[in-house]
Structure 1
Amino acid sequence: MKLILFPVLMAAITIPAHVQAEVNLRLGEGVSLHAVNGKSHSNKGFLSGSSGVSLDNGVHQIVVDYQVEIGRTRDDSVIERSDSFVILFETEDRDLVLSAPSVGTQRELDEFNDNPLWKLMDKGGNRHDFQLDVLEKEGFQLVRDYERELSRFNKTDSPAALHIRHAGSDPAARNNESISSGDTANDQHMVRQMLRYWYLKADENTKSEMKRWIRSGE
């Protein structure tokens, strides 16, 4: 088994750092990102249009809202925000753009809140599937605590909730329980993926321990 694992881990070690995040999500004009996978995310500024985030392949949950300038002229315009929305999607090796339709009046913003026509597109112009829900504001808040709100939201049955699987319900965990140290897994592609994933997540000390363990043959 170690003879199989060693070249796989060595290949993971030599993978350039830039491939660790293989999903690039760009935000359209006026779109603000507030949380990624349960953690708060800071924005660069209003109407930046070029902000975004790099993610690993897999399932991701984000919280966004839409900031627009409403008014007939720049002198009498005001900045308004839409409701906050939770978007859940799964992808790999893609460049995606999240955008919203043009809004110029309070009525159009209200209509967007009622019927949020978000678009998640790849660079080829193809729509990418996602689940959507409103992240309801809890009472009066000067500053929203998105991490706390998402913790509650993810315990609901919303289609946009990100449910963390427990070991007892995780197929990978069940497979690990059924494979003894002397067995070889049938799905070697999965083995390679898991080794690469955990190696890239490890700190330098853990990486050194992993390499020593494989070389030792224990």
Structure 2
Amino acid sequence: MSIKNRFIVFGALFCSLVALPATAATFEVPRSFEIMYVDLESSSQFGDDFKVDVGEGIHQIVVRFNKLLRSGGDTESYQSEPIVLDLKFEKNTYLRLKAPYISTKKQAESNVNKPQFSIIDDMSGNEVSYHQQMLPAKSGLQNTRDYVAEIEHLMAKNPSNFNTHSTASDSPVPAPVIMDDDVALPMMKFWYNRSDEATRKEMRIWIADNMYKPSVANIQLEMSKFWFNKANKEEKKAFQVWIVQ
């Protein structure tokens, strides 16, 4: 089954298992950017192209620079590669992507290659910490690209350990990738890294005894369980080794 089809199956199954967390925070971008995905789901399920509401915790949000400039009677489009952001949202926070105003072709072309921005806590006015990765450029028609699959492979090759609940000494190390087309292991790692310590503990107990009824209920735990059940024997063993390192 292709990666895309796996996610279609996963989407239908997950929606039947658990409801989305209650809204706790908001993320907004200026009109020179767009929000593409939130935790690998289309942003339209959370808000719109410029503002999304999410639950408290760590989320992966994919954005890109996307600017239209008029020159005479023509309109030119400038678009960067997708940028994968890992952000932590506290309860009732409002994070805003802040970028310079773009008015010239030179500025737009520069941002296509290297978008300039910072992320601000709207309440305090302070910059917040985050982790970012950018998809590599590809030639050809962009509307035929499977961005979700590309993001999965990027995470598998360059996993993010962004987790402000943990110190560098107790954060899990990157999981070994068995092969590029094996999705379950990097996805287990992805959701485990986005879990708090209580959720990680419940996941470890459940792995040891899959009849155990976890005392927490959140998207991170359900996704970790989903991908563990999808994994083969070697992937499960690799994941169990990784979480105790």
With the length of structure 1 as denominator, give the TM-score of the two structures. Answer: 0.60
User: C-alpha distance in 2, partners of 1:178/1:69?
Assistant: 53
User: C-alpha distance in 1, partners of 2:68/2:141?
Assistant: 22
Give yes or no for the alignment of 1:141 onto 2:141: yes
User: C-alpha distance in 2, partners of 1:25/1:117?
Assistant: 17
Q: Is the 8 A contact 2:80 2:113 kept in 1?
A: no
Q: Is the 8 A contact 2:96 2:120 kept in 1?
A: yes
Hey, what does 2:10 align to over in structure 1? none
Hey, what does 2:202 align to over in structure 1? 172
Secondary structure at the residue paired with 2:141?
coil
Secondary structure at the residue paired with 2:97?
strand
The CA RMSD over aligned residues, in Å, is 3.7
User: C-alpha distance in 2, partners of 1:176/1:142?
Assistant: 41
Hey, what does 1:116 align to over in structure 2? 115
User: C-alpha distance in 1, partners of 2:207/2:156?
Assistant: 27
Long gaps (5+) in structure 2? 1-18, 163-185, 194-198, 210-214, 223-245
User: C-alpha distance in 2, partners of 1:148/1:36?
Assistant: 14
What's the offset of the Cα at 1:120? Answer: 1.3
What's the offset of the Cα at 1:42? Answer: 4.3
Aligned AA for 1:38?
L
What's the offset of the Cα at 1:81? Answer: 1.4
Secondary structure at the residue paired with 2:68?
strand
User: C-alpha distance in 2, partners of 1:111/1:80?
Assistant: 10
In structure 2, relative to structure 1, the CA distance for the partners of 1:158 and 1:117 (3 Å cut) is farther
Q: Is the 8 A contact 1:40 1:146 kept in 2?
A: no
Aligned AA for 1:85?
I
Secondary structure at the residue paired with 1:154?
helix
Hey, what does 2:100 align to over in structure 1? 101
User: C-alpha distance in 2, partners of 1:145/1:105?
Assistant: 31
Give yes or no for the alignment of 1:33 onto 2:35: yes
Q: Where do residues 1-218 of structure 1 align in structure 2 (5 Å cutoff)? A: 20-42=22-44, 51-73=50-72, 75-93=73-91, 94-124=93-123, 125-143=125-143, 144-159=145-160, 163-165=190-192, 170-174=200-204, 194=216, 197=218
Long gaps (5+) in structure 1? 1-16, 180-190, 202-218
Hey, what does 1:184 align to over in structure 2? none
With the length of structure 2 as denominator, give the TM-score of the two structures. Answer: 0.54
Greater relative contact order (CA < 8 Å, ≥ 6 in sequence): 1
